[in-house]
Structure 1
Amino acid sequence: MQIKRQNTSILVDDNAMRVYVASPEQDGQCPGILFYSDIYQLGSPITRLVDHLAGYGFVVAAPEIYHRLLPIGTIIEPDDLGRIQGNEAARKTALSEFDIDAKAIIDFLAKNDSVASGKIGTMGFCIGGHLAFRAAFNPEIMGSVCVYPTGIHNGKLGREKADSLARMQEINGQVLMIFGTLDPHVPDEGRTLIIDILKKTNITHKIVTYEANHTFMRDDGYRFDPVATDLAWREITDFLISIFSK
């Protein structure tokens, strides 16, 4: 399916938040996806992932997560200095600001004429996987895809310790979590904690693991795993198509 792309902006707390939107070229309405990047924002490895998902029949909206702190269009390089910059920007962002941004994109999708009524999900990578998880606290979210999400198990996200585990019962939709067993940022005990609480809260969920490292779906780094990426995409697209077909 061919896609179209555009950059737009949403005013949030008097800050312009750039949003990269990819959607099917053909006319009609599709489910909407709030799509979160990793700490490096919307560089080409992330926008390629956005485009890929849109090709399966979704309107995908990806915001710049640090729009309050960095100039519009800032792409952080995935190197040592970029890692410091991205993590520092996360540290300076309040949880409430992340949550406000999520609601703004959900409202943006809900008002978009190309988005089917009542069909909104969320997806994210790394810090974005955690943000996608928190976005699911909004009742509009039918399903969440969290790919190697960091900080859910230990509360590391923004300026304050995140209460994501404690609020897990607020999730009404389904959850797909994808982990790499070689990922040092989400160790075995962290994955186990998340899974145990998901089970206790009776959230419909699926956990998928691959023998892969952190950021294994990012195609510009040494940890990229094309086989695990292809397998993960099958899980992701099957999951989203399934929840939106009901």
Structure 2
Amino acid sequence: MQITKRNVELRVDDGLMRVYVAAPKPAGRYPGILFYSDIYQLGGAMTRLVDRLAGYGFVVAAPEIFHRLEPIGTVIEPDDLGRMRGNDAARRTAIAEYDADAPAVIAWLKQDGTVSAEQIGTMGFCIGGHLAFRAAFQPDIKAAVCCYPTGIHNGKLGKGVADTLQRMSEIEGDLLMVFGTLDPHVPDEGRQAIVQALTAAGTTHKILLYEADHTFMRDDGYRYDSAAADAAWAEITAFLKQVLD
């Protein structure tokens, strides 16, 4: 499906937040997806993921997660210096500030004329996977896809300690968790802690495991695994279409 691309501006905490939006070109109403990037924000690797998802029939809205700290349009390069910069921005952003972005984008999706307001989901990668998980605390979120989410199992997210494990019972929608078994950032014990907490909370969830490293769906890095990424995409799109149909 062909898509359109644009940038919109939202105000959160009296600050400007740029949101990159990709949507199906054919006229109609489609499910909306709140999309979270990794620490490098919306560079080519991330916008290609946004665009790909939109091509399956979703209106995808991706905010710049560090809009309080970085100038609008900033792309952090995925090199050693960029890793330091991105991790520092992640550390300096308060958990409450991350959480405030979700309802702002959800509200925008619900009022957009191309979005089915009752069909809202979320998706994210790395830190964005954790943010997508927390976005699922919002009652409007019917489906959440969390790809190799960091910090859920140990509470690492911005300033302070995240209470994500303790709040899983608040999730009303369905979850799809995507992990790489070779991922040092979410080791087996971390995955098990997440699964145990989801099960105890009675949260509807599905776990996908691939013999792959962290960020294996990011196509510009040495850890990219095209076969695992394609397999994950097939599962992700089927899940979103089923839940948001």
Q: TM-score, normalised by structure 1?
A: 0.99
Q: Match of 2:25, as an amino acid?
A: E
Gaps (5+ residues) in structure 2? none
Displacement of 1:117 in angstroms is 2.3
Displacement of 1:148 in angstroms is 0.2
Whether the 8 Å CA contact 2:109–2:117 is kept in 1: the answer is: no
Please give the secondary structure, in 1, of the residue aligned with 2:154.
Answer: coil
Displacement of 1:175 in angstroms is 0.2
Structure 2 match to 1:146? 146
1:16 equivalent to 2:5? Answer no
Structure 2 match to 1:184? 184
Please give the secondary structure, in 2, of the residue aligned with 1:160.
Answer: coil
Q: Match of 1:84, as an amino acid?
A: M
CA distance in 2: counterparts of 1:99 and 1:117, whole angstroms: 20
CA distance in 2: counterparts of 1:200 and 1:215, whole angstroms: 28
CA distance in 2: counterparts of 1:180 and 1:65, whole angstroms: 23
Structure 2 match to 1:4? 4
Q: TM-score, normalised by structure 2?
A: 0.99
CA distance in 2: counterparts of 1:119 and 1:227, whole angstroms: 29
1:236 equivalent to 2:236? Answer yes
Query: C-alpha offsets along residues 180-210 of structure 1, whole Å, 9 cap, x if unaligned?
Result: 0000000000000000111111111100000
Please give the secondary structure, in 2, of the residue aligned with 1:179.
Answer: strand
Structure 2 match to 1:105? 105
- Between the two proteins, what is the percent identity of the paired residues? 66
Structure 2 match to 1:173? 173
Structure 1 match to 2:160? 160
Whether the 8 Å CA contact 2:144–2:175 is kept in 1: the answer is: yes
Structure 2 match to 1:54? 54
CA distance in 2: counterparts of 1:82 and 1:162, whole angstroms: 24
Query: C-alpha offsets along residues 101-122 of structure 1, whole Å, 9 cap, x if unaligned?
Result: 1110011111111100211000
Mean Cα deviation higher: 127-136 or 100-109: 100-109
Displacement of 1:150 in angstroms is 0.2
RMSD of equivalent CA atoms: 0.5
Residues 184-223 of structure 1: matches in 2 within 5 Å?
A: 184-223=184-223
Structure 1 match to 2:71? 71
Query: C-alpha offsets along residues 142-186 of structure 1, whole Å, 9 cap, x if unaligned?
Result: 010000000000000111110000111100000000000000000
Structure 2 match to 1:38? 38
Structure 2 match to 1:128? 128
